[in-house]
Amino acid sequence: MYSDGMDTADRLIESTRELLWERGYVGTSPKAILERAGAGQGSMYHHFRGKPDLALAAIRRTAAEMRAAAETVLAPPGSPYERVEAYLRRERDVLRGCPVGRLTMDPDVMADAALRAPVDETLDWLRGRLAALVEEGKEQGQFAPGLDAGDIAATILATVQGGYVLARASGSPAAFDAGVRGLLTLLAPAAPGSAHG
């Protein structure tokens, strides 16, 4: 399942990431982690202090991966609108959902300040990154000057996270895609000389 070059600690982290996404914190037992990682009985405690420590490492890795994936489309080149569009349309496993967003629905993760911190930090980072992009677009005349960058950033994030929920509920990515199309229509730069341009 895992590459031959992956060490035991990495296999444990990767299997924990997958299990957290599939089963949540309570459903991710040490036995299931070890089985999926192909690791021996004592290996978890050799590398980690226990399940909470391993879960934290897994959540941190998931959060870092999400930030890196977002940054690849949010960074230049491209206009601010094009970069927002690229973020909204980037390749996603829509029916599986967001691995970070799913953690917000796990009461055990949300109740633990240490496990929750990387989730909060990632969502805050993403809101801030999107807000800066909206500000840049306002300065360039791509977005209406009266838009509140923080509100628009929250709307972009809500469209993505809500799109996952609607897609999963309907069993089709069509609901996600419709939300993205609608938001992009609302954000589209007005043509020169148009009524709202």
Residue 22 clears pLDDT 50, i.e. is over it: yes
Task: In whole angstroms, give the CA distance from residue 190 to residue 70.
Answer: 26
Contact (Cβ atoms closer than 8 angstroms) between residue 116 and residue 110: yes
Q: Is the dihedral of CA 197, 148, 180, 76 positive or negative?
A: positive
- Domains of the chain as residue ranges with CATH: 59-187 (1.10.357.10)
Residues 87-92 have a mean pLDDT of 94
pLDDT in tens, 142-176: 999 999 999 999 999 999 999 999 999 999 999 99
pLDDT in tens, 170-192: 999 999 999 999 999 999 986 55
Q: pTM for the complete prediction?
A: 0.88
In this prediction, residue 196 carries a pLDDT of 46
In this prediction, residue 6 carries a pLDDT of 79
Residue 131 clears pLDDT 90, i.e. is over it: yes
Task: In whole angstroms, give the CA distance from residue 48 to residue 75.
Answer: 35
- Which amino acid type is present at position 67? R
Q: Which residues contact 124 (CB under 8 A, 6 or more apart)?
A: none
From residue 80, give the alpha-carbon distance in Å to each of 75, 96, 110, 116, 150: 9, 28, 33, 30, 15
